[in-house]
Amino acid sequence: MGIETVGIVGTGQMGLGIAQLLAQQGIRTVAIKMTGGDVSGKYATVDKSLQKLVDREKLTAEQKEHILEALTITTDLHELRDCDLVIESIVEEMDRKQQLFHELEQITSETCLLASNTSTLGITELASAVQHRERLVGLHFFNPATVMKLVEIIPTLHTPNDTVERLHKWVEAIGKTPVVVKDETGFIVNRLLTPYMVDAIRAYERGLADAAAIDTAMKLGCNHPMGPLELADYIGLDIVYHMATNLYETFKEPRLAPPPLLRTLVIAEQLGRKSGLGFYDYSTRPATPRKL
């Protein structure tokens, strides 16, 4: 059975990016804005992103219109009833995700696959909220979804092999590279990446160097496209905090625990690029390293 209609639940930066990606591939896509209210701003965000591609002559105006026609943004979960696959991309909280999947199982058909875009939470635990656990898998895209090539596929002990094969082929069909990962906190990328960012924050806390020096050292010394503090700001410090917390709660290794400065920034709602302040001040161009 093909995957022709896909639902995305959550229209933050990640969810909306996945929705745009799929619409660009000609897939009928239904994106659900979970916070309610007017959806026109979400359409405007996608329109602006696509217009940049038109301006760079990577899309024609006609292609842009076809993409927008393939995308529906709504606040009504029941619009997902005809989907072949629904991907959840809401806040990284186990209880809220489980409640959502419980609702989705009631709305969608038994043949519809349910997937989570979680970056660290256990898929098996998420699946415990649904009756048919074989339906739920992990599909972890990376930000920005329209650009980043990797998708982690995370099956559970309940997942049939043919479902993994089906998703593997589908991920390739949408122009991404799939890797199949064991269901363990952090999967591959964030299991390795989160401790790296957390260590960089601790080094900054201890006065090893300022933010610009730490980032420059890793970019020029290791050929990384972004330094660890820049990257944490880009991902969102709240997300980094949740990832570190999840890893620490699973493995109980002290170095995985969120550093005090990271917690303070999250409490202050200084979350990086999306809030305008993090380890850098984004009100200037280029962004200015802060003294914290």
User: Is the domain of 241 the same as that of 150?
Assistant: no
Query: CB neighbours of 275 closer than 8 A, spacing ≥ 6?
Result: 269
What integer pLDDT is reported at residue 222 of this predicted model? 98
Active-site hit among 119, 230, 242, 246: 119
Whether 190 sits among the annotated catalytic residues: the reply is yes
Domain range for residue 202?
A: 189-289
Asked about 119 being catalytic, the answer comes back as yes
Give me the CATH number covering residue 59: 3.40.50.720
pLDDT at 98: 98
User: Please, are residues 139 and 113 in contact by the beta-carbon 8 Å criterion?
Assistant: no
The whole-angstrom separation of Cα 259 and Cα 246 is 13
For all residues of the chain together, what is the average pLDDT? Answer: 96
pLDDT reported for residue 62: 96
Domain boundary at 130, 148, 180, which?
A: 180
Closest C-alpha among 114, 127, 256 to residue 190? 256
Q: Looking at the structure, do residues 42 and 128 belong to the same domain, yes or no?
A: yes
pLDDT tens, residue by residue, 6-44: 999 999 999 999 999 999 999 999 999 999 999 999 999
- 171 and 210 belong to one structural domain: no
The per-residue pLDDT for 231 is 97
- Report the distance separating Cα 48 and Cα 77, nearest Å: 25
* pLDDT digit string, tens, across residues 74-89: 999 999 999 999 999 9
What are the tens digits of pLDDT across the range 148-198? 999 999 999 999 999 999 999 999 999 999 999 999 999 999 999 999 999
Residue type, 214: I
Cα separation of 200 and 118, whole Å?
23
Taking the whole predicted model, whether its pTM rises above 0.95 is answered as no
Residues 140/146/149/151 CA torsion (nearest 10 deg): 10
Q: Look at residue 2 in the predicted model and tell me its pLDDT.
A: 83
Q: Which of 127, 157, 180 is the last residue of a domain?
A: 180
Statement to judge: residues 143 and 108 lie in one domain? yes
89 is catalytic: no
Q: Are residues 110 and 161 in the same domain?
A: yes
The catalytically annotated residue of 88, 92, 152, 230 is 152
How many domains does the chain contain in total? 2
Region 257-266: mean pLDDT is 98
Q: Which of 140, 230, 242, 246 is catalytic?
A: 140
Out of 180, 204, 220, pick the residue that ends a domain.
180
The enclosing H or E element of 29 equals strand 28-32
Q: Does residue 18 sit in the same domain as residue 133?
A: yes
1: pLDDT confidence band, cut at 50, 70 and 90? low
Token representation of residue 187: 């999967």
Q: What is the mean pLDDT of residues 252-273?
A: 97
Mean pLDDT of 109-123: 95
Q: Do 240 and 174 lie in a common domain?
A: no
The pLDDT, as a whole number, for residue 267 is: 98
Q: Are residues 133 and 194 in the same domain?
A: no
Same domain, 233 and 270: yes
Region 104-109 average pLDDT? 96
Residue range 132-143, pLDDT digits in tens = 999 999 999 999
- Judge contact between 16 and 46, C-beta under 8 A: yes
Q: Looking at the structure, do residues 173 and 209 belong to the same domain, yes or no?
A: no
Instruction: Specify whether 21 is located in the same domain as 160.
Output: yes
